[in-house]
Structures are given as C-alpha cells and as structure tokens.
Structure 1
C-alpha cells in the first residue's frame, strides 16, 4: 500500500500535534513531511502577521501538486477560504480554547500580577484584552515558538506570558500553567484549539480514510467560526476574536456564537453573542450586528 503522505509545519508544536493523528490512523502506512520556510514554519521575518494564511501557502501548494495527501493545520492560522480544489475533510475534537498565564512564580494570577509587570505577547487580541483589563501592566511584543517565549521568561526578559492553554498541553507543559484565563477577560481567536485536516476535494479515498478522525460537534463550531472570519475579513492576528459553543439539553442542541471586534489599544470593543439552534444562521446574524455597529472598521485595523 502506498504510504499516506501527511504535511505539517516543521515546528515542535506542529509535530507534537501531528503525532496523535499518526497514532489514530495506524496501522495505515504513513510518511510525515515537515514544511519549513515560507508557508511552513517561518524562521525569519516574524513581523506582525498582517495577512491571511501566512503559515499555510506552502503546505497547500504541496497538497495541490500531489506531493502530499493530507495537510495538518491549526485552524486559527489556516486561510478562511480553501484554495480551489482543496477542502477541510476532518476537524479533530477541540481542546481548551482559553489562554493561560505563565510566570516564574507559580502562585501568581492575572489579578495578582504587580503593577508594571512586563507581559510578553505579539498578539493584538491578547494585548488589547490585557490593556482593557489591567491597564497597569506593561505589555511588550514577543513573538516566536513557545519554547523561545518560555526561554525569554526564564531569562528575565519578561515577567509573564500569555499563551494558548492547548499549546502548553500539546507540548507536555500543563504543569507550567499558572491560570487558565476566562474567555470573558481574553476572548479566544476564532478557530482556537482546533486541528483541521485538509485534502484535495476529489480525493475520495483519502477523505474516507481520515473521516474517522472527524468530531461532529467541533466541525459544526469550526464552520460557524470560519464563516465569521470570512464575513469580517479576519486572519490570525486581526483585531477580531470569538468562538462557537455547543450545549445539549435533553433532545435539544443549541449553539452560541460570539464575535468581538476591538481597537488594538483595547479602548473600544464591539461584542456580540447570539444563541439558537442553527449555527450558520447565528454566525451570519452576529456578523450583521457587528457590521451595523461599524465593527468592520475595527476588524480591518492594523
């Protein structure tokens, strides 16, 4: 049998989250191809990520050309539109969407950080939320793999970090988490904590093979969130956040779609959430409300 060729970014994070996929597909023969450089794991030019899909172009090109059969994406970093001929074939069960606080002192919490504490993050979303919630903190730009940011913390370059809880868990660093931060304080990015598997649309055998990894509830939430991103022109570091959640009560399933557009300084935010039984309709209605309140002006800000 021809090995299943799986493409993923060459970062430690991407390889860590790809390992469970390989295990779940066993005993199918597989080859994992790491992608580095432009469109894979970018070692240089770590400037503000002011465009969509900066992590994904190379992997998608390899998928289209037939070099690989499956592309592994963090959904929050993936393009909101699939390239023609490609589509998401499976969404893995979602992990914790919350951000977390990491400091050298394990007893500190976000509310107990001393005034003037330097908090490292290059995320517009996190920086804006921190400036709104704790304007007495000193938010400084810090980008790079989690390992680089943790090194900066323990070398005293910064006093605290805000990271994705799921990233810490996937790297086996759950014990380093001081506090998981409520989404009401730092709203997660749309597509947070979801691993998506992309294939060629017409490759039905590959799609059938990986269908067993698909988590239905996560897939519904993911598509609602991607719709908000498409409608609002969002990308991985835009001033836009939100999520879809699922609630089952007996035989009734309801969804809540939340989206938040904000100014990068944290001074202004437009936050909309709606609950109902049709997630796509909810996502569209949320976008309409945001647009009526001029949220596009915030979501398209740099």
Structure 2
C-alpha cells in the first residue's frame, strides 16, 4: 500500500440526470479503489453546460460539428478547472485535444438501442403501420426506416426522462433510446423491447463510459488504470478506430459493434467488428463484419471495406 498526499479530485460532467447518475457511480468506484490502494483522494463534482445541451430546438445532425457534448468539458480539463471528466463514450469524437487522453473505459453495459412504446406494444413488429417513432439520431432513424419503411421517424430531443414524457404528451407510438441510459438510471422497467443488433447497429462506444484526463497527470492516470475494463477497452478501441477511419462524428448514420470471441489459451483475444453506414432515408444500408486481434487495424479494415462499397460518398453527401 502506498501513501499519497491528500487531494481533492474535481470531476467534470454534464448536468443531466443521467450524466450526474453515471458520474456518481464512477466516483463511488474510484473512491473505493482510492481507499483500497492507499490513495488519500476525495471527489467533487463540477457541472458543465455543453453546446449540445443548450441547443434543443433542432436535430443534432443540423447543429453540426463534432464533440457537441464534450468540448466545454474538455476545455475545463485543459484549463485545470477539473481533473477528470466522465463522458458517454458515444459522445466522444475520435480525435482528442492535445494533452488529453482516455484514462479508463469501465465495464460496458448493454450497448443495444431500445424502444419505449405505448402500453401493449412489445417489439418493433408490434408497431402499427405508419407509427410515429421519435429519435434525434440519424443512425437510428436510417436503420429503423430500412427495417420498417412505413414508420414515421420524427425528431425528438431532450434528456431521456423528457423524451419518455413526450411519448404520451406528443402522441408518439414509440421513442428510441439507449438501453444503457435507462439501465444506469434504474429504469429498466420502462423498456418495452430491446432492438436486436441485426436490426440496429449501436452507436460507436454506446453503453461504455470514457473517463478523460490530462496526459501529464500521472496520479489520475494511475488511479484510472485501476478502473479500466480490458475487454470493454478492446471492443471500444476497435469501434472508435472504425469511426476515425471514416472521419465520422457521433451524429451521422454510422454504427459499430465489436465483441470479443473466446480465445484459445495463450492466444490473443479475437475481436469481431460489425460496421454500418447508411443513408438518412434508410434506402441504403451497408454493413461489413470482420475479425482480427488488433483493434485499431480491425476498425480500419472494416471501414476500408465499406468505403469500397461507397460509404465515403454517403457520408460526403450528408456532410459527415
């Protein structure tokens, strides 16, 4: 056990109920690790409003730019106002500012999308013809339109609790959300159905958290290394490599889902990565699936296979 000087670690986060809940869960884990390993650390939360939080009257794809939910938090890290930041990994652009790094990816939870639907509906097949489905995500809308061209996909913004309220208040038949968010809030009973990954490939990093810190803060890096989950890290690295190779943001119709296959004793774990690029209208949906042991190379290989089929042209047309 080692002794360290007392330090108050300031943790930056968005101020939504979900962001504060998952930040609190991370702090609880870090406090336990700090105590177990003899670090004399305590934690404080600093709430930060991001551009994506301020602009709620237009779809995310029309707001433009990358890092809509992280830039202000990253600036606070750079300025030294906070010591680490808790992000939903799907909100993080591939390229991080100079001097910052992902210090940990904790254990990932269910990455799939889910439907919260009117009472009595239990699957996407139960939705009536022409049903109104709310989502702010081009990735979700293009895949659901591809599976069910009759659905009316309409933009719906706000925190997860406000989107669920709009289900009845604004006459939607269903809203699409991340299973992980409802799980972290303890609202699993509100999930009507999870959407299979063969219908809707998740967003890059969905279900995972990214704990960002300064590269020169060795104390924080040492602590965060204890929180990192190796399997979750490898899967997310492959997905983010795919995102980076396509130069995509989190608000374009790109999806990726990596899983670790059972490795033979003494051999490197094998990853299976499925990548998706689609047109916003759902008419074109390209998917590729490959396996490999190097996460970054695997992501690039899947991206290259999709580019050969025209993925780059689809993304260029929508400004991705």
Q: TM-score, normalised on structure 2?
A: 0.90
Q: Deviations over 1:190-234 (max 9, x none)?
A: 111110111111111111012111001111111111111111011
Q: 2:292 aligns with which of 268, 272, 276?
A: 276
**What SS does structure 1 have at the residue aligned with 2:102?**
strand
Counterparts of 1:270 and 1:58, CA distance in 2: 34
Match of 1:226 in 2: 240
Deviation, structure 1 residue 46: 4.3
Q: Give the CA RMSD over aligned residues.
A: 1.5
Q: How does 1:232-271 map to 2 (within 5 A)?
A: 232-251=246-265, 252=267, 253-271=269-287
**Tell me, which stretches of 5 or more residues in structure 2 are unaligned?**
1-5, 36-40
**What SS does structure 2 have at the residue aligned with 1:29?**
strand
Counterparts of 1:125 and 1:106, CA distance in 2: 26
2:189 matches 1:184? no
Q: How does 1:193-232 map to 2 (within 5 A)?
A: 193-232=207-246
Deviation, structure 1 residue 37: 4.2
Contact kept? 1:233, 1:300, Cα under 8 Å: no
2:72 matches 1:58? yes
**Tell me, which stretches of 5 or more residues in structure 1 are unaligned?**
none
Contact kept? 2:59, 2:155, Cα under 8 Å: no
Counterparts of 1:156 and 1:204, CA distance in 2: 50
Match of 2:44 in 1: 31
2:309 matches 1:293? yes
Which stretches of structure 1, 4 residues or more, deviate above 3 A after TM superposition? 43-47
Q: 1:150 aligns with which of 164, 170, 193?
A: 164
Contact kept? 2:246, 2:312, Cα under 8 Å: yes
Match of 2:11 in 1: 6
Q: TM-score, normalised on structure 1?
A: 0.95
Q: 2:115 aligns with which of 98, 101, 109?
A: 101
Contact kept? 1:116, 1:138, Cα under 8 Å: yes
2:53 matches 1:48? no
